[in-house]
Amino acid sequence: MFMKISTRSRYGLRIMVELAQNAGKGLISAETIAKKQEISEKYIHLLVGPLISAGLVRAVRGAQGGYEIARSSDNISALDVIAAIEGKTEPAPCLGQKFTCSRETDCATQDLWKTLASAVDNVLADCTLTSLMYRHRSKQEAAITYQI
C-alpha cells in the first residue's frame, strides 16, 4: 500500500500514548517523554504545540512543569491526534477542499478515493488511546512471557 502516515503523526501518537499511560500520576517532562520514546526533546516540543491547541494535551510551564493528557484516553482517537498534527489529510489531492478538478463529473476513480478516505478515517476514529495502550501492554507481556 502506498499510503504513508507521516513521522510527525506517528511520533504524535507515541507521545499521546505515553501521556495516557502517565494519566493520574502528575505531569511528565518533555525530557522524560523524549528518553522513553527515543524522540528528540526539541521535536517533542514542536509536536505538542498542535496537540495543546486541539485540547488534547495540557501544559504547565516552569521548573516543575510538564505535560499531561487533557481528556480521558477513552475519548481521544488516533484520528483526533493525526488531525491535530496534520489537519485533514486525503489520499488524493482531488478530495481536498482547495482543489478544483475539471474532470470531477467524469472521473472514474474519485469514488474510490472517497471510499478509501472514509475507511481510513473510520479505522483511526475507532482506535482510542486506551486501545493502543492495551495493545502495547499485551505485546510487552507476551515478550516477557516468551523470555521466561
Distance (Å, whole) CA 86 – CA 30: 21
Task: Report yes or no on 49 lying in a domain.
Answer: yes
Task: Report yes or no on 46 lying in a domain.
Answer: yes
Q: Residue 99: its pLDDT value, please?
A: 64
**Cβ–Cβ under 8 Å, residues 16 and 74:** no
Task: Report yes or no on 70 lying in a domain.
Answer: yes
Residue 67 has pLDDT above 50, yes or no: yes
Query: For residue 40, what are the domain limits?
Result: 7-147
Q: Residue 147: its pLDDT value, please?
A: 56
- If one counts the domains in the chain, the total is 1
pLDDT tens-digit map of 30-39:
999 999 999 9
Indicate the length of the chain as a whole number: 148
Mean pLDDT for 108-126 is 89
pLDDT tens-digit map of 31-62:
999 999 999 999 999 999 999 999 999 999 98
Per residue, what are the HEC states of 99-110?
A: CCCCCHHHCCCH
The 8-class DSSP code of residue 92 comes to S
Task: Report yes or no on 33 lying in a domain.
Answer: yes
Q: Residue 1: its pLDDT value, please?
A: 47
Query: Where residue 80 sits, what CATH number does that domain have?
Result: 1.10.10.10
Average pLDDT taken over every residue of the chain? 87
pLDDT tens-digit map of 85-110:
998 777 776 776 666 677 767 788 88
Q: Bin 126: left if φ > 0, else alpha if -120 < ψ < 50, else beta.
A: alpha
What SS3 class is residue 128? strand
Task: Report yes or no on 2 lying in a domain.
Answer: no
